Amino acid sequence: MNKINRREFIKTTALTGAAAVTSSIICTGGASVFGRNLPSLAAQKQAAVGKPIAISSGNGTKALEKAMEIINQGSDALDGVVAGVNIVEDDPNDMSVGYGGLPNEEGIVELDAAVMHGPSYRAGSVAALRNVKNPSKVARLVMERTDHVLLVGEGALKFAKAHGFKEEDLLTERAREAWLKCKENLNKEDDWLPPHSIEDTDIGEIYEKYLRHYGTIHISALDTYGNLSCVTTTSGLAFKIPGRVGDSPIIGAGLYCDNEVGSAGSTGRGEANLLNLSSAMIVEWMRQGKSPEEACLLACKRVNERCREKRLQDDQGRFKHGVTFYAINKRGEYGGASIWKGDTYLIHDGIEVKRKECAYLFKK
Ligand code: ASP
């Protein structure tokens, strides 16, 4: 691609319109399996009107309904998926995403999110963002209003505030109580004591329920123009070390989308996924002809087979944590898979939301 300087680009954009310039930048070079001869954004929008579809993690019923309502009105898939997850980010009762998400070990909520837009082949993300409940909106602004892909921590917060986001305390009473319970039960020798009586000699219990609590929402969607986009947003691992970033905001790990092929995302143990870049792998396996479900299962297999750390395996050498993948392809086929039996995903076929069993590697 020829390099054009920024001033030249802005001048040209003003003269000819952003869509035309974008298409001239995208449509360079010769034919390639990676789609360098993509049609312009405008042409992609005029392309055949097809059946939309959207997939999400199991906590996304309302989010999928919202996403599809917007997509069915003729909007871009990205508008739909972001509006969809905003519902979950705003919901104090979902303790794995946005407002009400479980905090880090210091009791502060830190959020990760990313978006990827198929037709323009762009992405944006934020990590360890505090005090802003809709990180997916900020991630979209990183994509649209910066020359970057990922902003973290304080810089992400300053950027959000520059765009008018208000800071607010994201810790709900319920999440604070869960955090305190964990803290008071984590170590029987430290100075934090759970409620007890003066008769008790052995104070505290390991508070298993929240110790390794994961949770996230991912949505991938195909809109009526046949374009793909996706989003993943989360409060990440409960009671994490401050600054810990999971897979969700990492393009290729927590989500990936190629407008010529398909879109994929993940929930579950982010560290395993960061080491395997599973979402990008799933899209590449779909490019090679695998169905979405086969590709998701291959990702599970890869996570399991590549793990060398005994502490992460059960007594049969199987990866003992949960990781789940979701994928759709350009033809509107879909599938999901998890390492362990029992997980589900949701699919919206343009008419209604249906819950499906994930394919799986192992049964408990
Ligand atoms: N994958 C997320 C993370 O590791 C958490 C989750 O999906 O449960 O931050």
Same domain, 19 and 165: no
Q: Which of 204 and 245 is assigned the larger pLDDT?
A: 245
Bridge partners (DSSP) of residue 232 are 114, 218
**pLDDT at 12 exceeding the cut of 80:** no
Residue 176, domain member (yes or no)? no
Instruction: Report the distance separating Cα 221 and Cα 350, nearest Å.
Output: 10
Same domain, 18 and 159: no
Q: Which atom of ligand 1 is nearest to the CA of 270?
A: 4
Same domain, 116 and 232: yes
Residue 295, domain member (yes or no)? yes
Which residue lies with its CA nearest to atom 4 of ligand 1? 270
Residue 186, domain member (yes or no)? no
Residue 201, domain member (yes or no)? no
- Average pLDDT, integer, range 308-326: 96
Which residue lies with its CA nearest to atom 7 of ligand 1? 267
What is the predicted pLDDT for the residue at 3?
45
Same domain, 151 and 14: no
Count structural domains, the chain: 2
Same domain, 20 and 84: no
Same domain, 10 and 106: no
Same domain, 21 and 122: no
What is the predicted pLDDT for the residue at 148?
98
Active site residues: 216
Closest CA to 231 of 255, 267, 259: 255
Closest CA to 265 of 292, 304, 235: 292
For 193-244, what is each residue's pLDDT tens digit? 888 888 888 776 665 555 566 679 999 999 999 999 999 999 999 999 999 9
- Residue 97 CA to ligand 1 center (angstroms) comes to 10
Residue 238, domain member (yes or no)? yes
Same domain, 20 and 85: no
Same domain, 233 and 101: yes
| Ligand 1 binding residues, C-beta < 6 A | 214-216, 234, 236-237, 246-248, 267-268, 270
112, 213, 266, 267: residue to mutate for ligand 1 pocket, most atoms within 8 A of CB: 267
For 151-210, what is each residue's pLDDT tens digit? 999 999 999 999 999 999 999 999 999 999 988 888 888 888 888 888 888 776 665 555
- Residue 271 CA to ligand 1 center (angstroms) comes to 8
Q: 89: domain range?
A: 49-171+213-362
For 144, phi then psi, to 5°, come to -90, -25
- Residue 158 CA to ligand 1 center (angstroms) comes to 24
Instruction: Report the distance separating Cα 220 and Cα 57, nearest Å.
Output: 10
For 254-352, where are the alpha helices, taking DSSP H only? 270-274, 278-287, 292-306
- Residue 298 CA to ligand 1 center (angstroms) comes to 19
Residue 204, domain member (yes or no)? no
**pLDDT at 48 exceeding the cut of 80:** no
Q: How many CB atoms lie within 10 A of CB 47?
A: 14
* pTM of the predicted structure, to 2 decimals: 0.86
HEC states along 96-110?
CCCCCCCCCCCCCCE
Residue 179, domain member (yes or no)? no
Same domain, 313 and 167: yes
Residue 117, domain member (yes or no)? yes
- Residue 1 CA to ligand 1 center (angstroms) comes to 37
Same domain, 15 and 122: no
Same domain, 133 and 231: yes
Q: Which domain CATH number covers 235?
A: 3.60.20.30
Q: Which atom of ligand 1 is nearest to the CA of 213?
A: 8
